[in-house]
Structure 1
């Protein structure tokens, strides 16, 4: 698009300048971008090219950033923006100094500027994580439908698991939720914060109890599933149900299961 707008060959527009096409001492290299918040990306570009004369033109930035770039880079003859960004009132000089110390001088200027986004991209906004003590990318504000670059940054799809409701009376206790996580059945009690993981026959017994809501029918289902003796399964299932009832995960377990 830039090559067409400025009537330039396609090879003259890009993210870097190949050495065979490096400009001579009289050529002015124009670096075009949509925005500049700290100058980090522009600084990386400058370090990779040998162009002696550079102009940095972009859509929006803070005036203090442009002034800082011109002071720090003798090769930059002009740093121009179509629109000024403003900094928040809480952006004090002390805060900017602290940000500068944290970034190890990799950025020309740090300020809490107003959010800016485009239909094609949402600029990276650095934030300080006090827990990890590192600079991390800030949250994206635009949904994928309004910003093209955010379409590839969306969260992975999360499988929705519906909590089944059985016929009872045996059922999960109030506040108890369960879900399959990494091939394990995780049962959690929201009130106490406790949780257990079930696999194999224990998982089969839990599912049979909630599906049938009855010890006798659950016994028949598990016995058929594992081709086991119903008498043996009945004893194991009763003990399993009683233990989970004592721990607060099940309700409606009949008294004979506790014998």
Structure 2
């Protein structure tokens, strides 16, 4: 179909512009494009692949070299790591070898430590700042209170906590509520801080509905967990602070 379409385009140009064309078969030996792209036979012989396989067998395993490629590439996913490994090491690198390297990478496990399949569901709402998802996460030895808007903006706030206790969290939430207003609903996990009487009294005082997440369920807190992963990936790849990573996250469409 592609050839027919191109031939039909040439026919239309001939009929519309009144062109006179002559068709001649060009042999491969006379085709300059074939000459420029032709390579010696020994470059593509199978015995070179066999030699490459033997070289990899002598090294017992290619995982250290794959790990080095994975680190230098910025800890990408399996598909990208496989591409770089086959380009820099050998075309014989398998996906299973790359999967083992990425699976046991400490940096990747810190960014995305839960490679499990979640049930499909939606936590998003149509209104902005109507439902907020909050959680406590850790990065580089520091604790952060994360607040993510479940509305279309997906705006996030990260506040560093000197002490991840109830008083500090309530103080940070109070500053956010005074600045941006209180939401209608608040999603959080089953941390003991969020189940405390002091936190419950604070939520009741502001008239906010509190929902606790259930693991592996659509009504979980997947929005804030995905935000943790994205911000940490930005900080790792850009080698910047959490504040700069949050700013880049908020300005990215």
TM-score, normalization: structure 1? 0.23
Q: Which has the higher contact order (CA 8 A, sep 6+)?
A: 2
TM-score, normalization: structure 2? 0.24
Structure with greater helix percent:
2
Structure with greater strand percent:
1
